[in-house]
Structure 1
Amino acid sequence: MKKPTRHHRRDVEMFPFVAITIAATFASAAQYAPRSQYVPSEMHGWKIYVHRRLIEQDVEVYEQTMKLLDVKLHDIQRVVPAEPLRELRKVPLWVEADNDHEFPCICYHFSKRWMAQNGFNPIKVDSIEICNASRFLRWTHAQPWIVMHEMAHAYHHRFLGRNDVRIKRAHRRALKSKRYDSVLRYTGNNVRYYGLKNAREFFAEMTESYFGVNDFFPFNRGELRQYDASTYQLLRSIWGEPPGATNQDDLDFYETSS
């Protein structure tokens, strides 16, 4: 947060500036829906806030979104170990009909200042926002662990720290290796790995593969472990071993039946 700036002009010269600043502040605040416009609920230990406009204008999309979110949060709580799961449950989720002027589908908000400057309500800071419920329903077909992706951003920011040197080092190693310059995507096309964009996206993308299914190769934990063992071990050290990661009776069944 910025410290107040000292002004050395005479008070009379400050009046227009103060008036403009106050007017801008009120105008900025007025554009946001008040908290009373959001219907609160709880789902698998997470707090959810849904804009009333979505409920009133498109009840079908609202109901489908809540059902899908229930599934996604259920899946997350099944695979994330207890200690990091406690931290993730501190991250609220906000659901909008079409607040998608900057982010088309879903995002994690970490900067109150940036939010205020770009038309997002600062009360959503340190939260995940589903910016467009209809698009969320569509995009999750191809990106089934997109909620976990945003949860990884939250964990990185709130718990690990955005400048975690281990994650930065892993990202630099991936860039230098050029092994991710052209990888398979779910479409069957080879593309540049999205996680190369920066260390934050690298961690979030790899977390999708570690716990679930990614839309970029490596698609799952087994492929990640085989293709990039050092990143796999990093994720294991950060998140812990997922429940059922080495399910012995499952392994025994397929080994004896093959």
Structure 2
Amino acid sequence: MVSRSVVLLLLFVGISSVRAEESGTYDPTDSYKVTEIHGWKVYVQKRLYREKKEVGKEALAILENQLFKVTRAVPEEKLAKLKEVPIWVCDRKDGPIHYHPAKEWLVDNNYNPDKAKAVDISRAENIIRSHRDQPWVMLHELAHAYHDRVISFEDERVIA
């Protein structure tokens, strides 16, 4: 009976450790390489360069193409505001491409809080998969940022 209890205890502790590791902690900002693409500051998770070179390369090529199109489509004064929005390219196991308006959600969901007020490509594969169906996904997310940072989510003209 003792051995069964020990086995169950070890199994429970082992499962708890795996779950903690899976939920883990976010990668700190210094685990990203900062680069510039068409005037945007882009944080690229260094792990993409080491472990998923082809995915990282393709994701950055698509990002570069989409940001180039944004520079051609958006008027200069509005474009300057959009270029203030940082972009993060990551290798998480989950997560869409999204704009993060608030630090609180990031903390509650185990994301790096430095991603507040930024566009996050949480999983690099997502921009690769979606680029044919959503060729303007970056403009879409940057529009959320503009709405938050310039117009305000509380603007009555938008709420109405």
Task: Tell me whether the two structures share a fold, i.e. TM-score over 0.5.
Answer: yes
Name the residue aligned to 1:50. Answer: 44
**CA deviation after TM superposition for structure 1 residue 34, in Å:** 2.0
**CA deviation after TM superposition for structure 1 residue 65, in Å:** 0.8
Q: Deviation digits for residues 193-242 of structure 1, max 9, x if unmatched?
A: xxxxxxxxxxxxxxxxxxxxxxxxxxxxxxxxxxxxxxxxxxxxxxxxxx
Unaligned runs of 5+ in 1: 1-29, 170-258
Give the alignment partner of residue 138 of structure 2, picking from 147, 162, 180: 147
CA contact (8 A) 2:28 2:112 kept: no
**CA deviation after TM superposition for structure 1 residue 168, in Å:** 2.0
Give the structure with higher Rg (CA).
Answer: 1
**CA deviation after TM superposition for structure 1 residue 97, in Å:** 1.4
In 1, Cα distance between equivalents of 2:131 and 2:86: 19
CA distance change for structure 1 residues 120 and 99 in 2, over 3 Å: closer, same or farther?
farther
Name the residue aligned to 1:118. Answer: 109
In 1, Cα distance between equivalents of 2:135 and 2:79: 19
Aligned AA (1:98): R
Aligned AA (1:164): D
The 5 Å alignment of 1:143-182 reads: 143-169=134-160
Aligned AA (1:83): E
**CA deviation after TM superposition for structure 1 residue 74, in Å:** 0.4
Q: State whether structure 2 residue 133 is matched by structure 1 residue 135.
A: no
Unaligned runs of 5+ in 2: 1-23
CA contact (8 A) 2:99 2:144 kept: yes
Aligned AA (2:123): N
Aligned AA (1:141): R
TM-score, with length taken from structure 1:
0.51
**CA deviation after TM superposition for structure 1 residue 98, in Å:** 2.1
Aligned residue pairs total 137
Percent identity over the alignment is 38
Q: State whether structure 2 residue 92 is matched by structure 1 residue 98.
A: yes
In 1, Cα distance between equivalents of 2:73 and 2:93: 30
CA contact (8 A) 2:62 2:127 kept: no
Name the residue aligned to 1:61. Answer: 55
Aligned AA (1:68): I
Aligned AA (1:77): T
Q: Which runs of 4+ in 1 moved over 6 A?
A: none
Q: Deviation digits for residues 114-145 of structure 1, max 9, x if unmatched?
A: 11011111011100000111121011210111
In 2, Cα distance between equivalents of 1:76 and 1:159: 17
The 5 Å alignment of 1:185-196 reads: none
Give the alignment partner of residue 107 of structure 1, picking from 98, 111, 118: 98
Aligned AA (2:92): D
**CA deviation after TM superposition for structure 1 residue 54, in Å:** 1.3
Q: State whether structure 2 residue 63 is matched by structure 1 residue 32.
A: no
Q: Deviation digits for residues 163-187 of structure 1, max 9, x if unmatched?
A: 2222222xxxxxxxxxxxxxxxxxx
> Relative contact order: is structure 1 or structure 2 higher (C-alpha 8 Å, sep ≥ 6)?
2
The 3-state SS of whatever aligns with 1:49 is strand
Q: State whether structure 2 residue 74 is matched by structure 1 residue 80.
A: yes
**CA deviation after TM superposition for structure 1 residue 99, in Å:** 4.8
The 3-state SS of whatever aligns with 1:94 is strand
TM-score, with length taken from structure 2:
0.82
